[in-house]
């Protein structure tokens, strides 16, 4: 058996899962969540569950969680005590989601002290994400000594984007000294979904052109040519591009000057506003698309505006990337909203018949996938492909340790 643990640590949360890649069977699914800074404040909650081992009862850990290291120690301690990992052969490695790899990391990487230091140097590019990722790595190295640890980067899949697409029209010195450029994110999702969609349609991935819309609380769209990313909506940070749950997406670059002069906003205030108070939440006060659709159906105008803005922004990017690619084999929806909201998919594709995209209302109904939701006569296929980012991290981590002979 090949048992891989996947760790995804944020500033106040930890997600932990172990997968047996020989059977693709989920043997451990452990989730540690906090609200705001709750884990750091010592009030976080930990829960373990074992879906493939029903004889093992769920575990709720009531004691306060002081920090990421403490949470990881408790998760591993309680999991090891059940014997589940040992019965499945023990861990082969631990794969870590790392949001920003900059230009330094273009593929999964075996973690060393030098790699950790390089990830630390990239914190200015992802101040909300990389610190938590680093804490998770350090904690896992403490609780699982001797087990190979692999970093899998959100940005790596987009390293095939050409300079004319990733460079900003800014003075060269900003790129040369600070690497100010488009990096893109959700790379594990876009890579997994594009390969899965190609296989679903029976098209060799090296011949596959697609537009993948990863629509969740965070949202991005990527143009795929020959199975590789050639453009993507997120930029230097995960803030650029589509309207999201609490993030603004694209705005006028002069807005910070306007707000500083007219409202006295500090850099910190501005950062908080764009990342945590904008997007769907900024327009209607809610960042849950399910609640927004319910409110819209009840006649709530602010919810309708938020819905319409979300779909319109995505449709603009879809049209732009059709122009970039020329031939598009498939438009693919994935992630929480993309997989589960027929109304959002319909709104984004509405009116695109002249571009060769026609939805079938019956096929589009319902949640989940994989499935084709376009009409038989649609020139471009429209698919729903559930993303499996954790599986992708596990597969990449396994490949990394095999290549390294670890």
Q: Are the beta carbons of 275 and 241 closer than 8 angstroms?
A: no
User: Cα 78 to the chain's mean position, in Å?
Assistant: 28
CB count in 10 Å sphere of residue 124: 11
Task: DSSP letter for 284, please.
Answer: H
Nearest to residue 246, comparing CAs of 208, 210, 218? 218
**Does the active-site annotation cover 286?**
no
Q: Are the beta carbons of 236 and 125 closer than 8 angstroms?
A: yes
User: Which of these is catalytic: 154, 231, 286, 329?
Assistant: 154
- Terminal-to-terminal C-alpha distance of the chain: 16
Nearest to residue 9, comparing CAs of 117, 154, 139? 139
Q: Are the beta carbons of 68 and 14 closer than 8 angstroms?
A: yes
With b for 16 or more beta-carbon neighbours within 10 A and e for fewer, the 297-307 pattern comes to: eeebeebbebb
Q: Are the beta carbons of 275 and 247 closer than 8 angstroms?
A: yes
Q: What is the rounded CA–CA span in Å between residue 104 and residue 98?
A: 13
Q: What is the rounded CA–CA span in Å between residue 78 and residue 47?
A: 10
As annotated, the active-site residues are 154
């Amino acid at each position: 058996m090949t048992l891989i643990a996947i760790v995804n640590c944020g500033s106040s949360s930890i997600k932990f899962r172990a997968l047996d890649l020989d059977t693709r069977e989920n043997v451990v699914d452990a989730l540690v969540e906090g609200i705001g800074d709750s884990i750091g404040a010592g009030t976080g909650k930990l829960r373990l569950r074992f879906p493939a081992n029903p004889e093992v009862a769920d575990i709720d850990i009531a004691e306060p969680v002081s920090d990421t290291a403490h949470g990881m120690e408790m998760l591993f301690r309680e999991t090891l005590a059940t014997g589940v990992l040992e019965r499945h052969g023990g861990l082969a490695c631990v794969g870590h989601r790392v949001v920003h790899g900059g230009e330094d990391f273009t593929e999964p990487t075996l973690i060393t002290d030098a790699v950790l230091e390089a990830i630390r140097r990239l914190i200015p590019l992802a101040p909300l994400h990389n610190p938590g990722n680093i804490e998770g790595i350090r904690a896992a190295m403490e609780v699982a000594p001797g087990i190979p640890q692999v970093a899998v980067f959100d940005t790596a899949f987009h390293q095939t984007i050409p300079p004319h697409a990733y460079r900003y029209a800014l003075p060269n010195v900003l790129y040369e000294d600070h690497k100010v450029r488009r990096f893109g994110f959700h790379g594990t999702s876009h890579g997994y979904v594009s390969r899965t969609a190609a296989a679903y349609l029976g098209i060799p991935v090296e011949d596959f052109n697609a537009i993948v819309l990863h629509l969740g609380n965070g949202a991005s769209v990527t143009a795929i040519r020959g199975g590789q990313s050639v453009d993507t909506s997120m930029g230097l940070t995960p803030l650029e591009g589509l309207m999201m749950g609490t993030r603004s997406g694209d705005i006028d670059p002069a807005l910070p000057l306007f707000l500083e002069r007219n409202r006295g906003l500090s850099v910190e205030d501005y950062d908080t506003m764009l990342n945590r108070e904008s997007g769907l939440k900024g327009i209607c006060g809610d960042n849950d698309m399910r609640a927004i659709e319910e409110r819209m159906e009840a006649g709530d105008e602010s919810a309708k505006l938020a819905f319409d803005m979300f779909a319109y922004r995505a449709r603009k990017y879809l049209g732009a990337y059709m122009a970039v690619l020329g031939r598009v084999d498939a438009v693919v929806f994935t992630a929480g909203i993309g997989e589960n909201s027929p109304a959002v998919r319909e709104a984004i594709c509405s009116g695109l018949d002249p571009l060769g995209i026609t939805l079938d209302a019956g096929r589009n109904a319902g949640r989940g996938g994989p499935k084709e939701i376009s009409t038989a006569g649609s020139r471009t296929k429209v698919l729903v492909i559930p993303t499996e980012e954790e599986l992708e991290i596990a597969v990449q981590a396994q490949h990394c340790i095999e290549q390294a002979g670890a």
